[in-house]
Amino acid sequence: MVNGLQVVGGLALFLFGIQMLSNGMEKLAGHQLQQWLDRMTNRPIKAALFGFGATALIQSSSLLMLTMMGLLSANLMTLEQSVGVMIGQEIGTTFTGQIAAFDIGDFFYFFLALGIVFIEFMPEEKWRKYGEIAMGFGLLFLGMDLMSGALKVLATLPAVETWLTFMGQNVWAGVLAGTVITAIVQSSSAMTGLVVAMGMSQAITLPGAIALLLGANIGTCIDTQFVASFNLSRMAFRASLAQTFINVTGVLIFLPFLIPFAELVARTSPDLARQIANAHTIFNITVSVMLFPFVKYITRGVEALVPPSAAEQQPKLTAYIDLQQLSMPSVALAEAHKELLRIGETTAEMVKWSRAALVEDDAAATQRVLELEEGFIDPVCVVLEDFVNTLMRKDLSVEQQRRCFQIKSLTTDIERVGDLTENLAQFAQRKAQEEALFSKEAQEELQELFAHTQQTYGLALRAVQDDDAALAQKVCVLEDEFDRLYMTAREEHLERLNNGVCQPEASFSYNETLRTLERVCDHADNLALSVLARQPAPRGGQGPL
């Protein structure tokens, strides 16, 4: 009983270690992973290399799979790209088994101590990330030590010995057991660690271990399919189906040759645990190489099985963010930033159309602004804010938390610009209803002020997009210049009113337009200040704010 609990406890520590290692790696390198993903093309070889590198780095194929589902749902990846990534990730998953097969004795205590020191006593955020990685390694090896020690005793029990012998002789039983256990614990890495631990304690034969690993490859698909079934995107379900096809095909190819394969693997190392890890590696590499030339055909087959639905062909409200991305915060933040810029670009267009509405009496431009504000800006901003709020409840680094707050703040400013363009469109409607006309001088002033506003706001959005401090500084200067233009325009308008040049009926729309444009520039200034606040402070001095 005690030894059984020790195996369960060791497996729990192993799982927690993998999770902590994955979290640390994601916080440390998640942004770079997103950059690599952005550079992917439709070439399967690049997608496969990305899948291999990302899985080896973050130590979680499930995390990568869920992230891909989100990107597929947001149309940021093609299905063919994702199939290439899956083939690459099959090789990346072998790193866990190879790491677990190392017998480091009691050296895992060093990793645990190092992790505690970095997490608790180092002031800088980056050291805490290193601490999570070290702690993850320590817990991983501690879990392996507990499992192998307990399994050595359990293997001597008659019932356990009979079961293990049966699995070694009946590979189908081993495959079934591996499938069921992996589906229950929802981690192929945990199953791999458990089988390697059994090898360390000599509690299993190599053929029985390989059968369990083959079953684990199928069991991990059950977890992914379950998640995909709750995803509204059929594209994500296609990806899950493609992964199932890849894994099941690999198992069916190897199963008839399991005994000869085991004899071949036995020559790679005298240590059974290392043999098991090598079998896992050789199997995954071989399957990936065999299936790689058929990426296009796998894609076409899955698309034929799951054709696009009518709902899927409808345009989505959001272009980038998707709830599945929340499993990888760095990806979620990058996509939220893209969604924010998409909203910003639309509001910049609305500023341009509001100029046409007011100065050129363009009724179509007026209607376009009103439709975009109600049908796009408001609902997308709500979705984006909810997305970031959900993300903030995740385990984020300090920098990621700050980034979330910044995106929320920027969203508020950009949404207010949308509201202000709606006001401008309403001023245009009132002006048209009252048949009021701007004087030639007023029109020229408005053209100048609109041009200045568009330049200021456009540069602010570019500064946010590129995180460019120089552009942000220029925006602040332009905003100050607008304040002077605003005061001059007001004074000249009052003079024209007194001289009877401007119609009193048009005065309200003119004055409110000036105030509204001034507020748009204020929000542009806020965007610029947000960019400057992210810049590192110079040594020995204060930051830009």
Angstrom distance (rounded) from CA 104 to CA 145: 9
The residue extents of the domains of the chain are 2-305, 329-533
List the one residue out of 357, 244, 366, 222 whose CA is nearest residue 301. 244
Q: What is the largest CA-CA distance in the chain?
A: 109
How much is the pLDDT for 349?
Answer: 95
Q: Which pair of structure tokens corresponds to residue 445?
A: 């002033």
Q: Inform me whether the pLDDT recorded for 543 exceeds 50.
A: no
Angstrom distance (rounded) from CA 316 to CA 344: 18
Question: Which of the listed ranges 31-45, 344-358, 385-399 does the model predict with the highest average pLDDT?
Answer: 344-358
List the one residue out of 238, 219, 232 whose CA is nearest residue 86. 238
Angstrom distance (rounded) from CA 23 to CA 519: 42
Angstrom distance (rounded) from CA 67 to CA 27: 15
CA quadruple 257, 261, 264, 266: dihedral positive or negative?
A: negative
- By CB neighbour count within 10 A (0-12 exposed, 13-18 middle, 19+ buried), where does 179 fall? buried
How much is the pLDDT for 413?
Answer: 96
Q: Which pair of structure tokens corresponds to residue 374?
A: 């109600």
pLDDT band, residue 40 (cuts 50/70/90): low
How much is the pLDDT for 31?
Answer: 55
Task: Work out the end-to-end distance of the chain between its first and last CA atoms, rounded to an integer number of angstroms.
Answer: 63
Angstrom distance (rounded) from CA 331 to CA 339: 12
Angstrom distance (rounded) from CA 215 to CA 490: 77
Angstrom distance (rounded) from CA 156 to CA 164: 11
pLDDT band, residue 73 (cuts 50/70/90): low
Contact yes or no for 113/273 (Cβ under 8 A): no
Angstrom distance (rounded) from CA 344 to CA 476: 18
Is the pLDDT higher at 28 or at 216? Answer: 216
pLDDT band, residue 502 (cuts 50/70/90): low
Q: Inform me whether the pLDDT recorded for 226 exceeds 80.
A: no
Counting residues of the chain whose pLDDT is more than 90, the rounded percentage is 32
What is the assigned CATH class of domain 329-533? Answer: mainly alpha
Contact yes or no for 125/85 (Cβ under 8 A): no
Angstrom distance (rounded) from CA 339 to CA 211: 46
Question: Which of the listed ranges 94-98, 356-360, 382-386, 484-488 does the model predict with the highest average pLDDT?
Answer: 382-386
Q: What value does the mean pLDDT take over residues 324-350?
A: 88
How much is the pLDDT for 232?
Answer: 46
Contact yes or no for 414/523 (Cβ under 8 A): yes
Q: Residues 6 or more apart from 416 whose CB is under 8 A from it?
A: 519, 523
Contact yes or no for 275/268 (Cβ under 8 A): yes
Q: Inform me whether the pLDDT recorded for 107 exceeds 80.
A: no
Q: What value does the mean pLDDT take over residues 210-233?
A: 70
Q: Inform me whether the pLDDT recorded for 512 exceeds 90.
A: no
Q: What value does the mean pLDDT take over residues 223-248?
A: 70
Q: Inform me whether the pLDDT recorded for 510 exceeds 70.
A: yes
Q: Residues 6 or more apart from 28 whose CB is under 8 A from it?
A: 126, 129, 130, 133
Long-range (24+ apart) CB contacts under 8 A made by 227-234 are: 227/66, 227/69, 228/69, 231/69, 231/73, 231/324, 232/73, 233/69, 233/72, 233/73, 233/312, 233/322, 234/306, 234/308, 234/309, 234/312
Q: What value does the mean pLDDT take over residues 228-240?
A: 64
- By CB neighbour count within 10 A (0-12 exposed, 13-18 middle, 19+ buried), where does 469 fall? middle
pLDDT tens per residue, range 374-420: 999 999 999 999 999 999 998 888 888 999 999 999 999 999 999 99
Is the pLDDT higher at 532 or at 27? Answer: 532
Place of tokens 């984006």: 384
pLDDT band, residue 252 (cuts 50/70/90): very high
Q: Which pair of structure tokens corresponds to residue 49?
A: 């290399």
